[in-house]
Each structure stands twice: as C-alpha cells, then as structure tokens.
C-alpha cells in the first residue's frame, strides 16, 4: 500500500502544488497546503486507493483544507494599480501578469475561486467539479461564469476585443 501512495505522490504532487498555489496565492502556503493534504491522504490511503478516483478524493481534501484556511485567515490582498499586458517576449512581464492573475483570483469568494481553479488549472469538466465539491453541475456553471466575469472586469485590456476581431467582418 505504501508504494502505491509513493507512486501517487510522485505522479500528482506537481499538479496538486499548482492548484494549491492558485488557491492560496503564496508559494509557502501552497507548500503547506499540499503537505497537509498528502499527510491526510496518507493516513486514509487504504480507503482512498479503493475508490474509483483517488485524484478526486485527494483534490477534495485539498479544497476543504483551503476553505478552512481561508475562513480562518481572511485577509485582503492589495491589488496592483492597473493590469498591464506583457509583451509576447517579455518574460518578466509575463511573471507580473501571472502574479496579477493570482491576486485577482484571491479576490474571488472561495467557492468561485475553487471552481475556476478546478476548471482551468486541473482541466476538470462540470460534472467532475460538481462531484468533487458536492454541488450541482448548474451551480458549477454559474459560479464559473460569475468568476470569469469578475476576473475579466479586473483585466479590461485582456477581455476587450482585439483589433483583429474588429476588422474580421469588414472588407
């Protein structure tokens, strides 16, 4: 059983970390969240490994822990003045854009943030997210739509139509 868990950790810890980083917004907090998630999963591994989808079970542990932390440590993160778009070859600008996105995600309510993270960072379907969070698929879709709308409102330059879109129908 222990080797199965070791294999799971080797295969999934990077993905769990990416999700935790977006959920928490901090590298240190993400590392702690993944560590605590894997610790709890290890204690229940016999039960988890018997399930059809151990990934979903472990993600659920992580989301629940993140929710608990968020409730305990609600804090506001100051936002940058304005979201600037990075030039295509500007590596530093791209890092700034990612940082702004993580900060914007931190401003979303926890359930909305969780739905956005599970969809776009874990590439799960509505039904998979609904099963993970024990909510309906329609709730997933509405939370996702509202979350994306809020993110777009914080990045108007990114959500505005490109000049190419303006001229596509004109000849």
pLDDT in tens, 99-145: 777 888 888 888 898 898 888 888 889 999 998 888 999 999 999 99
Burial label for 156, CB within 10 Å (0-12, 13-18, 19+), is: exposed
Please indicate whether residue 82 or residue 48 has the higher confidence score (pLDDT).
48
What's the mean pLDDT in 36-64? 89
Q: What is the mean pLDDT of the chain?
A: 78
Question: At residue 3, does pLDDT exceed 70?
Answer: no
Question: At residue 165, does pLDDT exceed 80?
Answer: no
Question: At residue 81, does pLDDT exceed 80?
Answer: no
pLDDT score for 79: 40
Instruction: Say if residues 93 and 101 touch (Cβ distance below 8 Å).
Output: no
Question: At residue 84, does pLDDT exceed 80?
Answer: no
Q: How far apart are CA 2 and CA 145, in angstroms?
A: 41
Alpha-helix residue ranges (DSSP H) falling in 44-134: 45-50, 54-72, 91-107, 110-120, 126-133
Q: How far apart are CA 20 and CA 36, in angstroms?
A: 11
Residues 6+ apart with CB under 8 A from 22: 102, 105, 113, 117, 121
Question: At residue 91, does pLDDT exceed 70?
Answer: no
Q: How far apart are the first and last CA of the chain?
A: 65
């Amino acid at each position: 059983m222990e080797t199965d868990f070791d294999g799971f950790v080797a295969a999934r810890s990077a993905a769990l970390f990416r999700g935790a980083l977006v959920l928490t917004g901090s590298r240190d907090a993400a590392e702690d969240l993944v560590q605590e998630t894997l610790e709890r999963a290890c204690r229940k591994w016999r039960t988890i490994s018997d399930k059809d989808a151990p990934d979903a079970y472990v993600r659920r542990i992580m989301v629940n822990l993140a929710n608990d932390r968020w409730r305990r440590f609600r804090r506001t993160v100051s936002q940058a003045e304005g979201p600037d778009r990075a030039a295509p070859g500007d590596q530093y600008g791209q890092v700034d854009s990612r940082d702004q996105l993580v900060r914007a995600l931190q401003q979303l309510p926890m359930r909305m943030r969780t739905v956005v993270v599970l969809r776009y960072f874990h590439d799960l379907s509505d039904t998979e997210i609904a099963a993970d969070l024990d909510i309906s698929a329609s709730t997933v879709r509405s939370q996702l739509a509202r979350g994306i709308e809020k993110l777009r409102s914080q990045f108007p330059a990114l959500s505005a139509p490109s000049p190419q879109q303006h001229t596509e129908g004109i000849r």
